[in-house]
Chain A
């Protein structure tokens, strides 16, 4: 190859390269930019809405929110959801607009694309929340003016709104419009809009649980909430939110909008029951429990999960015996003519005639507030809600009912009130499990089985405590409330109760130190409080004594 050819070749190649640079320029101008900030795609028919609503006076943030949504990036715009036909119940023509819109899209509109989610939701307990408005034996109408329910109970129960187009639900209750960000739907504070407060403090239970503590300890977890389930096998954070266990996908478990499809217990009702196949997609409670456990297994060993749930399950049914006892006293009072409320017999927790008597209100609190707090706390790691806001309040209200009966002259109640036996606080049958989910019980000061019983019962009775407990749990199992596996586990723990209940071992030296400390505190209290005599009393003492004397 001689020089001339080489030079000609260079020139040709230079020209070609220059052409390629122009092609690069063209490519740069026309390139698709996947992953860049998605440009909202507005169809011609929705353009009218968008250009007007971007006006500073016409809810511009509505458009801003929509622009940031996945909907916007994928061309789902105003009329995709707000489409309307003449005669529709929510037909609406914006002032100054030419295109009519549906003022309130319903789940039917969402179902155009998200049919499975809408159907799952409609069949779920969330979908059934409007039912409460239809109940003839409805409990609170008696207490509350309907006005107050509008910004009250309806705000939450509208999640199961029923629409003229026959669809059920209110999707934006969780998928806040107009971003519809799944991260908001998964945010525990979204569930906490309703699942909060005295009757079902679920967000508080979550916050006080290890789950909530760990989750909120890592700020980056909040940013991960928008994760795409199709791309992940396990949840991308180190502790669950509400939806992680109740709705989101887990290995071998698809995501669901039926919040009941993983629930083995009905624990919001006056009495705890295993969920029936009418709820949760026709699954048996065992199948629903198996679903729930798949979410647990992302982080927990089966051993821990089974033990935790066994204790939780027995706690949940233990409540039934407490409330049955309350009902027994109420019924006894009814029979004795102390309270006379029709329809309040047997196990019936509601009364059409209303909560005009104190024991009726107390009993309502027992199941609707404290009973739920106790049950939900026990199943979801909310120790304080199981304890002080739960069993303590339940016991307290049971005593309130009996005290009312005693004051009204019911002989059995009078006898109970005047009894000095500490065992009187356990009026009802009981369950128990040797050991706990966290391993073997190590009550250091346990000296013998008998001693444990003494601690539990406040007195030296019931040497056959564990035999009685066993028989009670067996009766529960025979009734189908425990699964075969749970009964097997229970028997195993029961047989091994000497170990599960903790070894008997000498007290550590610290125990003596603590005992001395407590003795010192007692002595200090006597000195600092008991022996202190102030020279002057209060104004009342002065008014009733000194002043008169002068």
Chain B
């Protein structure tokens, strides 16, 4: 069989235009993409890959039923070879993913990359943010330790105050009136089935829109370009290696805690959610239930439809770039609330 024959053998069976497929790889992207902080979106994507891989591995041992859930994680952490490493990466990967999603969002906000014609992609991006946070929340609920149990209890109870449908939502989230085995299994299902599906679909649209719009220009006068492959791909590979090194170091130096087995009869004296919920936790502790919920809902609403709000701002105050000021203010406030919750209270 000659090379030509082989080629025709494969092209006959897989009639794909490889030239066309390679085309997107050659896409020129702005020069600023060479800098990590302008290409932050790829980082959570890499982390998602890491989370999927480690997550699938963890399901080989995880038992989604109380109290075996806790026992199985202990088993993963202490007995299974490299279990501590896989779980450590998954734990810290989640933390970094949420952090980098926020950073990506902040960069998009500050540089105004959500503006026309990219408003829809902002919307999808917000969807991805919610999905990521939901991943985090359902994820640490699965451990079935005290933090899991009470975070799940408190976290789901927040929806109790939603007018009219509150009890329905609560019952839907918990699979009953209380946090039970039902809650654990549905959180598990959501964490490994529903959310990944939602996330992959949103991501596909997110990336597709990015590619059809092209990467937004930072400075229209800068016409320098680099090629997606290999230039940008190499950047992402470098980021990937950095991430794995950081995650492995964190897994060794700061192994994720196991905590105590959930005890529905006793709430620990000091109970807090994971750090990324600190701002909303702080907020909900500052104001009464309904106000807190409406406030948080309003914030999320504005965040979601920010491109439209920004349009209004521009129309009313055409001379001032209020969005940067507002965005910075919100970012500083959120960070301050987090620090307050983490260190002060």
Asked if A and B touch directly (CB within 8 angstroms), the answer is: yes
Contacts from A to B (Cβ < 8 Å): 1, 3, 6-7, 9-10, 13-14, 16-17, 20-21, 23-24, 27-28, 31, 33-36, 231-234, 236
Q: Are A28 and B235 in contact, CB atoms less than 8 angstroms apart? A: no
Decide if B189 is an interface residue (CB 8 Å cutoff): no
CB-contact partner of A10 in B77, B234, B248, under 8 A: B234
Cβ of B252: which chain A residues have Cβ within 8 Å of it? 23-24, 27
Cβ of B85: which chain A residues have Cβ within 8 Å of it? 24, 27-28
Cβ of B24: which chain A residues have Cβ within 8 Å of it? none
Cβ of A28: which chain B residues have Cβ within 8 Å of it? 81-82, 84-85
**Closest A residue by C-beta to B85:** A24
Cβ of A1: which chain B residues have Cβ within 8 Å of it? 34, 235
Q: A6-B235, A233-B266 are in contact. Are A14 and B241 (CB under 8 A)?
A: yes
- Which 3 pairs of residues, A with B, have the shortest CB-CB distance? A13-B241, A6-B234, A33-B78
Cβ of B258: which chain A residues have Cβ within 8 Å of it? 35
Cβ of B244: which chain A residues have Cβ within 8 Å of it? 17, 20
Report the minimum CB–CB distance from A56 to chain B (whole Å).
29
In the assembled complex, the Cα of A326 lies from the Cα of B230 at a distance in Å of: 107
Q: Are B241 and A17 in contact, CB atoms less than 8 angstroms apart? A: yes
Q: Are A3 and B231 in contact, CB atoms less than 8 angstroms apart? A: yes
Q: Are B78 and A24 in contact, CB atoms less than 8 angstroms apart? A: no
Q: Are B242 and A13 in contact, CB atoms less than 8 angstroms apart? A: yes
Q: Are A3 and B242 in contact, CB atoms less than 8 angstroms apart? A: no
Cβ of A36: which chain B residues have Cβ within 8 Å of it? 78-79
Supply 21 A–B pairs (Cβ within 8 Å), ascending by A. A1-B34, A3-B234, A6-B231, A6-B235, A6-B238, A13-B241, A14-B241, A16-B241, A16-B245, A17-B244, A20-B244, A20-B245, A20-B249, A23-B252, A24-B82, A24-B85, A24-B252, A27-B252, A28-B84, A36-B78, A236-B265
Q: What is the total of A-B residue contacts with beta carbons within 8 Å?
A: 61
Cβ of B245: which chain A residues have Cβ within 8 Å of it? 13, 16-17, 20
Decide if B271 is an interface residue (CB 8 Å cutoff): no
Decide if B177 is an interface residue (CB 8 Å cutoff): no
Report the minimum CB–CB distance from A52 to chain B (whole Å).
31
Contact with A along B242-267 (1 / 0, CB 8 A): 10110011011000001010000110
Report the minimum CB–CB distance from B66 to chain A (whole Å).
12
Report the minimum CB–CB distance from A416 to chain B (whole Å).
58
**Closest A residue by C-beta to B231:** A3
Cβ of B230: which chain A residues have Cβ within 8 Å of it? 3
In the assembled complex, the Cα of A497 lies from the Cα of B318 at a distance in Å of: 86
**Closest A residue by C-beta to B230:** A3
Cβ of B198: which chain A residues have Cβ within 8 Å of it? none
Decide if B74 is an interface residue (CB 8 Å cutoff): yes
Cβ of A7: which chain B residues have Cβ within 8 Å of it? 234
**Closest A residue by C-beta to B237:** A10
Report the minimum CB–CB distance from B51 to chain A (whole Å).
18
Q: Are A10 and B241 in contact, CB atoms less than 8 angstroms apart? A: yes
Report the minimum CB–CB distance from A239 to chain B (whole Å).
15
**Closest A residue by C-beta to B239:** A13
Cβ of A21: which chain B residues have Cβ within 8 Å of it? 248
Cβ of B241: which chain A residues have Cβ within 8 Å of it? 10, 13-14, 16-17
Q: Are A24 and B238 in contact, CB atoms less than 8 angstroms apart? A: no
In the assembled complex, the Cα of A28 lies from the Cα of B83 at a distance in Å of: 9
Cβ of A27: which chain B residues have Cβ within 8 Å of it? 84-85, 252
B contact residues, total (Cβ < 8 Å): 27
Report the minimum CB–CB distance from A524 to chain B (whole Å).
53
Cβ of A231: which chain B residues have Cβ within 8 Å of it? 260
In the assembled complex, the Cα of A7 lies from the Cα of B241 at a distance in Å of: 12
In the assembled complex, the Cα of A391 lies from the Cα of B249 at a distance in Å of: 74
**Closest B residue by C-beta to A19:** B245
**Closest B residue by C-beta to A28:** B82
In the assembled complex, the Cα of A33 lies from the Cα of B255 at a distance in Å of: 12
In the assembled complex, the Cα of A1 lies from the Cα of B230 at a distance in Å of: 13
Cβ of A31: which chain B residues have Cβ within 8 Å of it? 84
Cβ of B79: which chain A residues have Cβ within 8 Å of it? 33, 36
Report the minimum CB–CB distance from B88 to chain A (whole Å).
10
Cβ of A14: which chain B residues have Cβ within 8 Å of it? 241
In the complex, besides A27-B85, A28-B82, 7 extra interface pairs with C-beta distance below 8 angstroms are A6-B231, A10-B237, A13-B241, A14-B241, A16-B245, A17-B245, A24-B85
Report the minimum CB–CB distance from A38 to chain B (whole Å).
11
**Closest A residue by C-beta to B77:** A35
Report the minimum CB–CB distance from A25 to chain B (whole Å).
8
Contact with A along B211-254 (1 / 0, CB 8 A): 00000000000000000001100110110011011001101100
Q: A3-B231, A17-B245, A24-B252 are in contact. Are A9 and B238 (CB under 8 A)?
A: yes
Cβ of A24: which chain B residues have Cβ within 8 Å of it? 82, 85, 248, 251-252
In the assembled complex, the Cα of A20 lies from the Cα of B82 at a distance in Å of: 13
In the assembled complex, the Cα of A6 lies from the Cα of B249 at a distance in Å of: 23
Cβ of B266: which chain A residues have Cβ within 8 Å of it? 232-234
Cβ of B248: which chain A residues have Cβ within 8 Å of it? 17, 20-21, 23-24
Centre residue among B244, B258, B260 by max chain A CB count within 10 A: B244
Cβ of A33: which chain B residues have Cβ within 8 Å of it? 78-79
Contact with A along B64-101 (1 / 0, CB 8 A): 00000000001001110110110000000000000000
Cβ of B82: which chain A residues have Cβ within 8 Å of it? 24, 28
In the assembled complex, the Cα of A538 lies from the Cα of B78 at a distance in Å of: 80
In the assembled complex, the Cα of A21 lies from the Cα of B245 at a distance in Å of: 9
Centre residue among B82, B249, B258 by max chain A CB count within 10 A: B82
Q: A24-B248, A234-B265 are in contact. Are A35 and B235 (CB under 8 A)?
A: no
In the assembled complex, the Cα of A36 lies from the Cα of B244 at a distance in Å of: 27
Cβ of A10: which chain B residues have Cβ within 8 Å of it? 234, 237-238, 241
Mark out the residues of chain B between 38 and 86 whose CB falls within 8 Å of any chain A CB in the assembled complex. 74, 77-79, 81-82, 84-85
**Closest B residue by C-beta to A15:** B241
Cβ of B34: which chain A residues have Cβ within 8 Å of it? 1
In the assembled complex, the Cα of A3 lies from the Cα of B205 at a distance in Å of: 30
**Closest A residue by C-beta to B88:** A24
Centre residue among A1, A23, A34 by max chain B CB count within 10 A: A1
In the assembled complex, the Cα of A21 lies from the Cα of B252 at a distance in Å of: 11
Report the minimum CB–CB distance from B35 to chain A (whole Å).
8
Report the minimum CB–CB distance from A250 to chain B (whole Å).
14
**Closest B residue by C-beta to A20:** B248
Report the minimum CB–CB distance from A224 to chain B (whole Å).
11
**Closest B residue by C-beta to A13:** B241
In the assembled complex, the Cα of A298 lies from the Cα of B27 at a distance in Å of: 71
Cβ of A34: which chain B residues have Cβ within 8 Å of it? 78
**Closest B residue by C-beta to A12:** B241
In the assembled complex, the Cα of A20 lies from the Cα of B250 at a distance in Å of: 12
Q: A10-B234, A10-B241, A16-B241 are in contact. Are A35 and B265 (CB under 8 A)?
A: no
Report the minimum CB–CB distance from B247 to chain A (whole Å).
10
Report the minimum CB–CB distance from B6 to chain A (whole Å).
31
Cβ of A6: which chain B residues have Cβ within 8 Å of it? 231, 234-235, 238
Report the minimum CB–CB distance from A160 to chain B (whole Å).
37
Cβ of A232: which chain B residues have Cβ within 8 Å of it? 266
Centre residue among B241, B258, B266 by max chain A CB count within 10 A: B241
In the assembled complex, the Cα of A299 lies from the Cα of B265 at a distance in Å of: 13
In the assembled complex, the Cα of A10 lies from the Cα of B251 at a distance in Å of: 22
In the assembled complex, the Cα of A236 lies from the Cα of B264 at a distance in Å of: 11
Cβ of A234: which chain B residues have Cβ within 8 Å of it? 265-266
Mark out the residues of chain B between 125 and 161 whose CB falls within 8 Å of any chain A CB in the assembled complex. none
